[in-house]
Chains A and B, each alone.
Chain A
Amino acid sequence: MSAFVIGFDLLLGAGLLWLAWQALFHPQPFAAVVHFMAFGLMMALAWVRLEALDIALAEAAIGAGVTGALLLAALGRLPDGPTPRRLLRAWQRPPVALALGSVLLLSLWLVWVAWQLPRPGLAAEVTAALPESGVRHPVTAVLLNLRALDTLLEVAVMLGAVWLVWSLGPELRPYAPVTALPGLPALTRLLHPLFLMVPAYLLWRGSHAPGGAFPAGAVLGAGGILLLLADGVPWMQRPEHQPLLRLLLAAGLVLFLGLALGGLLLTGTFFAIPLAIAGLAILAVEVAIALSIALMLMACYLFGEPGR
């Protein structure tokens, strides 16, 4: 551990704290959102420092990309009146400051306790079970085979979020009309295959190295939102394509559930995937989940049901 690396870590930590402070307490909401997006990018750097490359990939696409796009789109549609000022009376200030200070101390104490707790970890168990999972990357094995029920429920939660967003009303039109610029359609056509190539590469890597369905879906979803902004995916809003869109949104969950029930039929245990077909089955489910996650992120960005 050289002094250079420690200096980098200190700089990263100070930068994260400053960006979080600005995102939380900057008087202008727009500046706060932009600082939050920069915070997401710096978090991706922190994940790289912690050797969590899968998370870094997903964070760079989601934390900085998709969340930022969602926040900015919502900010543009919110009425920009003055924020309600809630001035405290003089006698209220000391107890409020005391409460907030104790919140800060409490979080420090909780983290210190968590740091002191014994941490046996499951690394040895996962390594032992890795040959029976059908993939060689431990995180992918945990996500799609060893703890697949968590992932199944997570996809269900996401589908529930899309359901909630769509049930609120018709989609909101893009905030500003995209003016007809000559280069934009050509660029969009160029982007379509590229945005499919990068997630396909990440997905293929996932079986033996950091990558897999979640980073691939996140990158595809972030690219898809960029294409939505450029009016590059008109089929999503057409009424005649709505059944196909719903089918693709549910594909990840349905295929995953099918795999779990297939395991139940073949071996008698829910989610027990036979080793002979595990690699292929996991790849098929990963493709469906990545596609579903990407489309769910894009569906959330519409802030309502399309084609209604």
Chain B
Amino acid sequence: MSGLFPLLAALLAGLSLVGLFRARTLLRRILALNVLASALFLLLVTLARTEAGLDPVPHAMVLTGIVVAVSTTAAALALILRATEPPGDGKEP
């Protein structure tokens, strides 16, 4: 099991990078970035399991990272929505 989760993180990171570069729409690119973030969080938490016990510092980093990831996703989605909305639609009060 020791090597399974790092391998999974590496495959997920590689897959999401391929998806990021091949994405045709911005929404797909956001999905790829989110999967990449999950892969990196997985790697961090897997590396936190040492012989001395669980290292709580990467856990805390990943916990804040998840919340930052969702807020950046929301900001990116809002930007995409404003960029693609038809002109004149957003002017009305």
Residue numbers of A with Cβ under 8 A of B are 1, 5-6, 9-10, 13, 16-17, 20-21, 23-25, 29, 32-33, 36, 39-40, 43, 46-47, 49-52, 54-55, 58-59, 62-63, 66-67, 70-71, 74-75, 77-79, 83-86, 99-100, 103-108, 110-112, 114-115, 119-124, 126-127, 138-139, 141-143, 147, 150-151, 154, 157-158, 161-162, 164-165, 168-170, 172, 214-215, 217-218, 293, 296-297, 300-301, 303-304
Contact = CB atoms under 8 A, between A and B. Distances in A.
Interface residues of B, number: 73
Given A36-B34, A154-B67, A124 B52 contact: yes
17 contacts: A29-B28, A33-B27, A40-B38, A43-B42, A52-B62, A62-B66, A62-B67, A74-B81, A77-B81, A85-B24, A107-B10, A114-B6, A121-B52, A121-B55, A169-B90, A214-B67, A215-B63
A165 B6 CA distance: 35
Contacts of A79: 84, 86
Contacts of A304: 78
Interface in B1-45: 1, 3-19, 21-25, 27-28, 30-32, 34-35, 38, 41-43, 45
B62 to A, nearest CB: 5
A189 to B, nearest CB: 28
A23 B73 CA distance: 15
B24 A83 contact: yes
Interface of B: 1, 3-19, 21-25, 27-28, 30-32, 34-35, 38, 41-43, 45-50, 52-57, 59-64, 66-75, 77-82, 84-86, 90, 93
B78 A297 contact: no
A114 B13 CA distance: 14
A123 B45 contact: no
B89 to A, nearest CB: 10
Contacts of B74: 70, 161, 165, 297, 300-301, 303
Contact of A303 (B17, B22, B52, B81): B81
Given A297-B70, A303-B81, A104 B52 contact: no
Interface of B: prevailing SS: helix
B57 A157 contact: no
Nearest to B20: A24
B78 A158 contact: no
B1 A111 contact: no
B60 A147 contact: yes
